[in-house]
Amino acid sequence: MREQVTQWSTNVSGSVSLNSKAHVTNSGARMSLARIHNLSISLDGFATGEPQSADAPFGHAGERLHEWMFDTRFWDAGGTAGVDDAFAERHSYGIGAEIMGANKFGPPGWSDDPDWKGWWGPNPPFHTPTFVLTHHSRPSIEMEGGTTFHFLAAAPAEALETAREAANGQDVRIGGGATVVRDFLAARLVDHMHLVQVPILLGRGVRIWDGLEALEDDYDVEAVSSPSGVTHLTFTRKVVA
């Protein structure tokens, strides 16, 4: 018999809910999940363009992959409610730590700048311990609002174990970029993934799906279309009971 690790559902009003039944261990304790949220991809599967730079964090894609989110209440109090907002707001629910790649933390060469503290100013939007996967070690950086950046040279499984310890029983968000997401998917470490397919073609950049043939066999997959033109895809891991 198969049952979902955790059940995410969308009702007719467009709101997204997390059912109370969560994945539990044999001892009855809730297991910390590895989750991906609001990861936008083009029709041809690219999650970022190229080349990345300080002036163009997403390369030639610009902000086109994320325009759907900028119109939501999640992003701006004056934004709209509805399907896009309902999915977007799940980003922060129950998260105790984040893992991100070096290319999300900064542009090429950031490791040579000892004053670089990320793109987000003094109060980054993570508000949790945040682990940056990089081979360039540096001391942890404590920011305003509860975010502390830790720099970690580790494989996905080791990084997830470290983040789970810091998450204090809550879930761990795999925050990207595209290469890190692909690595965690390839290692079969992701429990829930929310992708947003945006109706544009980029032609080049970093693709999510390369090397992940038949990934869908491990997940229950749902698709929800939005009036904004994007399609929300959710992947919820299956387990054999």
pLDDT, residue 195, reads 97
pLDDT, residue 198, reads 98
Strands (E), 109-230: 129-133, 141-142, 148-152, 171-174, 192-198, 206-207, 219-225
CATH of the domain at 69: 3.40.430.10
Which range marks the domain in which residue 94 is found?
A: 2-240
Higher pLDDT, 167 or 25: 167
Q: Domain tally for the chain?
A: 1
The model's confidence at residue 31, banded by pLDDT at 50, 70 and 90, is confident
Q: What is the mean pLDDT of residues 230-240?
A: 92
49-82 pLDDT, tens per residue? 999 999 999 999 999 999 999 999 999 999 999 9
pLDDT, residue 12, reads 32
pLDDT, residue 6, reads 35
Position 97 pLDDT exceeds 50: yes
pLDDT, residue 21, reads 40
Q: What is the mean pLDDT of residues 93-110?
A: 95
Instruction: Write the DSSP symbol of residue 89.
Output: G
Instruction: Label residues 49-79 b or e (16+ Cβ within 10 Å = b).
Output: bbebeeebbbbebeeebeebbebbbbbeeeb
Residue 15 token pair: 């709101």
Secondary structure tally for the chain: helices H, strands E? 5, 14
Position 19 pLDDT exceeds 70: no
Mean pLDDT across the chain, nearest whole number?
89
pLDDT, residue 24, reads 53
Q: Kind of pairing, strands 129-133 and 148-152? A: parallel
Position 240 pLDDT exceeds 80: no
Q: Are 215 and 58 in contact (CB under 8 A)?
A: no
pLDDT, residue 62, reads 94
Task: Provide the percentage of residues in the chain whose pLDDT is more than 70.
Answer: 87
Position 183 pLDDT exceeds 60: yes
44 vs 49, 121, 144, 199, CA distance in Å?
Answer: 11, 32, 38, 9
Position 203 pLDDT exceeds 90: yes
pLDDT, residue 23, reads 57
Q: Are 229 and 200 in contact (CB under 8 A)?
A: no
pLDDT, residue 29, reads 57
Give 48's strand partners.
206
Determine the 3-state secondary structure of 98 from DSSP. strand
Asked whether the whole model's pTM tops 0.85, one would answer yes
Position 130 pLDDT exceeds 80: yes
pLDDT, residue 239, reads 78
